[in-house]
Amino acid sequence: SGCLSVPNTVTLAMKAWLEGPYDSAAGLMRDDLRAASVIPTTEPYTAAGFTQAGGGGGETILPSVLNVTGSNAIVDWVLVELRNASTPSQIMSTRAALIQRDGDVVALDGASPVVLNAAADNYYVALRHRNHLGVMTASAVALSATAASIDLRSAATSTYGTAARKDVSGALVMWAGNVFL
């Protein structure tokens, strides 16, 4: 009867800083990898052995996404994870995404909020990067199709564990140092 079945999705409008490219004087991250044309058009996390779930993995971008300059220029790929509200070690859904110089974590078009395949529910939200330590919300967050704002740059956003972020001149950044990839 013309009904279309659409999978359950949740949407995230996330923000974060990566310590490695963060420039405290500019209040932005550097986009050296993009400028050097070394950001791949296919996400690097599956090949590196990161867990993928809920349809995540194998995401690709059009090369034109990397043509954007200024504060919305792409810095690198990141991996967004939704984790079980009762067992935060259990990854329920993943989505490779992009991070801009201004800290916005965006979808494959380089601009939109990130959409993950998962039912509306409460999830711990983790952000991973290939050479930074991951960071996760301190508690489960209610997510739905309406974009939930999670600003991991803000002290008002509590994170899991102790010293999960590093303070660089007042900016909370993801610790550089993961040598997984």
Contact of 150 with 142, CB cutoff 8 Å: no
pLDDT at 93 (0 to 100): 97
The reported pLDDT for the residue numbered 181 is 46
CA distance 17 to 37: 21
Instruction: Look at residue 50 in the predicted model and tell me its pLDDT.
Output: 95
Q: In the prediction, which pLDDT does 177 show?
A: 87
Q: Is the pLDDT of residue 2 over 60?
A: no
Is 20's pLDDT higher than 60?
yes
Residues 22-43 have a mean pLDDT of: 96
Query: 50-106, pLDDT tens digit by residue?
Result: 999 999 999 999 999 999 999 999 999 999 999 999 999 999 999 999 999 999 999
Q: Which residue has the higher pLDDT, 149 or 181?
A: 149
Model confidence over 117-127: pLDDT tens digits?
A: 999 999 999 99
Mean pLDDT of the 159-166 span: 95
Structure confidence at residue 8 as a pLDDT band (50, 70, 90): confident
Tell me how far apart the alpha carbons of residues 3 and 36 are, in angstroms, rounded to a whole number. 47
Please choose, from the candidates 69, 64, 31, 61, the residue with its C-alpha nearest in 3D space to the C-alpha of residue 44.
61
48-63: pLDDT as tens digits: 999 999 999 999 999 9
Rounded to two decimals, what is the model's pTM?
A: 0.94
Share of the chain above pLDDT 90, in %: 93
Burial letters for 87-123: b for 16+ Cβ neighbours within 10 Å, e otherwise? ebeebbbbbbbbbbbbbbbbbbebeebbbbbbeebeb
Q: Please state which of the ranges 86-90, 126-130, 138-142, 174-178 shows the lowest mean pLDDT.
A: 174-178
- Rounded CA gap, 112 and 34, in Å? 19
